[in-house]
Amino acid sequence: MENSIESTEEQTGSLSSAGAMNRNPAFDYIVVGGGSAGAVLASRLSEDASRRVLLVEAGKSYPPHAYPDAVRLQTVIGGNPDHDWGFVSEPGWSGKSFPAPRGKVLGGSSAVNAGVWMRAPAADFERWTEAGLPHWSISDVLPSFRASERTASGSDQCHGRFGPEPIHQLQEDEISDMQRAFIASAEIAGFARVTDFNGEVPFGVGPYPMNNRAGQRLNTGMTYLSDAVRARPNLTIRSETLVDRVEVENGRAVAIILAGNERISGSEIVLSAGAYGSPAILLRSGIGPAAELEALNIPVVANLPVGQRLQEHPFFFTVWAAHADRLGLPIPPVGAILWARSSKGGSKDGDLHVSAVHYGDPADSPTGAIFMLALAVTRPRSTGTLKLRDPNPETAPIIDLNILGEAEDRALMVEGIQMIRNIASQGPLADIIAQELVPGAAIVDPADLEAALPTALDIYHHPASTAPMGGDDDANAVTDYQGRVRGVANLRVADASIFPDVPSVATNPTVVMLAERISQWIKG
């Protein structure tokens, strides 16, 4: 079978009415969402030619080598209306609502992100296992990280050489003058130089590892769903297809119901629609807090805390006017990072990121030259919620991120600004800087800095933990350690929704690893 979108949609249509009561399901595996996790799952599960796999994606699909510039180019990050869900958060502590871009295209948010490839560190997984989650230690997950990547650098112990994701560790001659100056000044300030952020010791400063090539972002729709994979006769890809809910009969998931009420049956259903999409599908399926569901007249299938532990990294842009003759070319836009431990973090936790980036409008600078040192709190204490507005799958959910809702997070952000100022005051970076624009050098007192945070506050676009994994005695858990939904057989979630808490780094590589790991459990 030629695996074009047209032919796969025709095939799916011919099978979707089969399998009443699941006596003869149309597919062995149905994967909902073709993003960072779903593309991985579809690729790995369809390696077994005897298994029929359906991948359903709400967004558009493109051939691996024919994505449009809005998706393909590294310089274009998120927010393109043709490939984005258009989510917006509720106002929180800052009084601001935040656009919450999520990729709506085959490849998902891996198709609209910054292309950074930094794994969650060992300390994140240690925290999970200490909380009672088995089989998620760094030694457990490292083989799946290695299986995903193809990189020429680093040690064989830490890195894969033959995976689908080409990873390139940037070198200093590949980043901008400003980014090199940032690294040098951070070293002068006492931070260690890191040459491999995916090695054994990731904390310190250095150029980013990236999954891009020649300025092109390499999303999972390209890397895991190659032409050869898409041509597999047992893999059906159905794009521009919105899933409403999962049908559950006698405690077992048996089918998905599309917007428009089309039914497609499957022996096992995996939700990989992202930290906003997957919980929304669960809720529409009657899986979630009973009181919320009853208020929307949704019959309760399983009373579980879906959407009750939403986490996201808060982000703040310190903005700097540069001497125009010293800044150099603003390429690449993303090139260097400091991963630091705050005074409040543990000895193993890197809870602050500073990214040296060429964003901002030069017209906003009195010198006509501008750059940003973007600060993230990567171990936030604040948690938010995701709820349904109504049962309509076309309606965006209510996303309450509660960014900086906890005073401890605000204190970490203030400490991070002070750390950035220390770095910017010395070495070659100080020679580039003409003045601090945001928050402004006159704002010094910690209370005043906290009050100024809303002026340039944003989010890092790493939502997680809306259907978290946990042990049998964990009242906050929605899924078990393999992503299986509690109380509902044949239904899993496999994406950032199931992280017990948000990893202390950009989430995409860890989501890919998670999908690699869960695909092996599904295959047995």
CATH number given to 27-523: 3.50.50.60
**Catalytic option among 168, 313, 461, 462:** 462
Rounded-to-integer distance, Cα 224 and Cα 110, Å: 12
pLDDT at 8: 36
Is 50 exceeded by the pLDDT of residue 315?
yes
pLDDT at 22: 52
Mean pLDDT check: name the lowest of 63-77, 300-314, 385-399: 63-77
Q: Which helix (H) or strand (E) holds 493?
A: strand 491-493
* Known active-site residue 159: no
Tell me the average pLDDT across 1-14. 32
Tell me: the pLDDT tens digits for 200-221?
989 999 999 999 888 899 999 9
pTM of the model: 0.95
What are the residues whose beta carbons fall under 8 Å from the beta carbon of 10, sequence distance 6 or more? none
Is 90 exceeded by the pLDDT of residue 75?
no
Contact assessment for residue 150 and residue 161, using Cβ atoms and an 8 Å cutoff: yes
Pick left, alpha or beta for residue 135 (phi over 0 → left; psi -120 to 50 → alpha; otherwise beta). left
Q: Tell which residue, 110, 107, 71, has the closest CA to residue 508.
A: 110
26 annotated binding-site participant: no
Sign of the Cα torsion 99, 121, 486, 220 reads positive
Tell me the average pLDDT across 425-429. 98
62 annotated binding-site participant: no
Q: Tell which residue, 221, 119, 208, 217, has the closest CA to residue 168.
A: 208
What are the residues whose beta carbons fall under 8 Å from the beta carbon of 227, sequence distance 6 or more? 63, 64
Rounded-to-integer distance, Cα 477 and Cα 486, Å: 8
105 annotated binding-site participant: yes
Compute how many other C-beta atoms are within 10 angstroms of the C-beta atom of residue 39: 32
Rounded-to-integer distance, Cα 145 and Cα 189, Å: 32
Q: What is the mean pLDDT of the chain?
A: 94
Cα first-last separation, the chain: 27
Looking only at the bridges linking them, the beta strands covering 263-271 and 491-493 are parallel
- If one compares 347 and 245, the residue with the highest pLDDT of the two is 245
Tell me: the pLDDT tens digits for 117-135?
999 999 999 999 999 999 9
Peptide bond into 439 cis (omega under 30): yes
pLDDT tier at 80, thresholds 50, 70, 90: confident
Tell me: the pLDDT tens digits for 474-486?
999 999 999 999 9
37 annotated binding-site participant: no
Is 50 exceeded by the pLDDT of residue 14?
no
Tell me: the pLDDT tens digits for 137-176?
999 999 999 999 999 999 999 999 999 999 999 999 999 9
Peptide bond into 143 cis (omega under 30): no
32 annotated binding-site participant: no
141 annotated binding-site participant: no
DSSP string, 182-195: HHHHHHHTTPPB-S
pLDDT at 23: 63
pLDDT at 24: 80
243 annotated binding-site participant: yes
DSSP state of 486: T
Q: How many residues does the chain have?
A: 524
pLDDT at 21: 46
